[in-house]
Chain A
Amino acid sequence: MNSADRPSDQSPSLDPVRAYLLQLELALETCDPALRHDALIDAEEHLRASVAAGTSPAQAIAEYGSPEEIAAAYRSIPTSGGSLRSSISTLAPSADSRSEPTAGAVHGRASVSSAASAAAVHPDSGAASSRWQRMRRIPLVGVWFHPIAWRSLVYFGIIGFPLALAYFVWVVTVGTIALGMLPILIGLPLLVFLLGSARALSLFEGKVVELFLGVRMPRRTQPVVGVGEGATQVGFWSRILCWLRDIRSWLSLGYLVGNFPVSLAAFTVTLTFSLVGLVFVALPILDLFGLPIGVAEMDDSTRIQFLFTEVKPDADGKLWLPPGAAVPSFLIGFGVLTATLWLARGMGWVYAHVVQAIQVARPRPAAPGR
């Protein structure tokens, strides 16, 4: 289209692709970081491929679309999958509505991006889900209806810690072997292997975190920097060099090690709080079914208190919930469990955003590529 005859565009100092990526990053500033990350990689990969195929950078950029158009298209992606399902049918000009096939798109912009934006306007609109939405807004107790709070609880209380332990053992084992073997040179490739595995493991952890903590992780990984610019082969060594230079490798390695004490603490806190809460809730329920809350064999000097009331065993040594303690016990248990859910949700938010920050860490588009 315009200025298609400027072969000098490919010089790294004035690389128009890089300049475009900077503009796109700016246009996507208010977007979710994971989405911005993916959008930049999509654009870079496409433009590099286009230039490698012989298109001039300026034309490739013109065909790709202005940063504003592209940013609008990415912003219109629904945050959770599946919410478009109902509106897909409205995108297809159906036989029943053919008198006005694209009514929703009349005010749309002059590009296909409006197709996605028109569709994204319809959120999940089931009656059941809106009831859930309302329940979630109840102060304090609303967290019981928040799926992310429950999933965070499962993450911190069950699966997070075993995973963290496995990562930690892997990194420490391979790391020490590699360091020990450094003098006989086998250690060096082993260290590079460790770095590669750290990248893969942290990508996997990102998927787990996205599933349980509900924070979007990037779908794409940064292509090997500088590759594709001239359709040259990616050598084994250039790939390794790229790993070594990529800040994400080192952040990932640091995460896999540092994550261990953090998730141990989160595991302990979550498990303790939930168990305490569950016990307080369970005692009145046991009492309700006519069951003792415990059995004790004790001498005269032993005293057992429950909620400031002394509990004495009966003739069989069974302990019964003191009269009047059932309601306070249940309320305390419910309060502790609610607090645990809030805690899990809060920890989940912080935790997931740290993981996200590691995943979207990428060299600035302005950085020199080679």
Chain B
Amino acid sequence: MSKVERVSLDKLQKQEEYLTSPSGNSAESIEEIQESNIWSQYQLSEEYGENKIVMQVKNPTSVHLYWGFTDELANQVLSKLGYHDLSELPLVLRLYDLTINKQYNINTTLEHKDWYINELNPGHNYLVKLGVIEDEMKFHPIIESNPIRTPRNTVSDNLDQDWMTVKDKLEKIYFLSGKGELEEGYSSPELIQKEEKVIQLSRLEEGYSSISLLKGSSEIVE
């Protein structure tokens, strides 16, 4: 029933260094240039004492989550269940695929403050709750994320054609014309399939960014 998705362990370890260890890479790089750079004196809080879990889309099949919750909130949940410490129960991210109405449990730990979930479905709606599992069955949420939708990454099968006319620069007269008005024209699947082929062959592995001056090459990373 419930499927455990543990992914990108090496990446998770990297996350830990960045986010949960004060002596991680990020802090080191700040120290390195302390002598030469006036900007280097600033360290940021690791926690803001808030109760939230934020989910952001990385690409059509993966999301990033970060979270934080207070002891007070956790204790409220625990005390109702008759427990005193979070370590007594497994901490779980429960992922809800709202599009197909399925849910998955992902084991996490108190040491983690963020997570990547991969192998999602493009074009689906998701929600995540972080909570504890009691008796290997019963899930008790502590915090709930924002909903997201992963972007679709294929050509749409929907061939409906709704058209709109936007008149002139400033007068905003919008009017809709119904479907089918231009149906006597050609249909574009061949055209779009041709383009799709090109895109698959040549792109999405390389990419661009608006800072070519700095990168020394027009083709960036990966």
Q: Do A and B bind each other?
A: no
Q: List A residues at the B interface (Cβ < 8 Å).
A: none
Chain B positions near chain A (C-beta within 8 angstroms): none
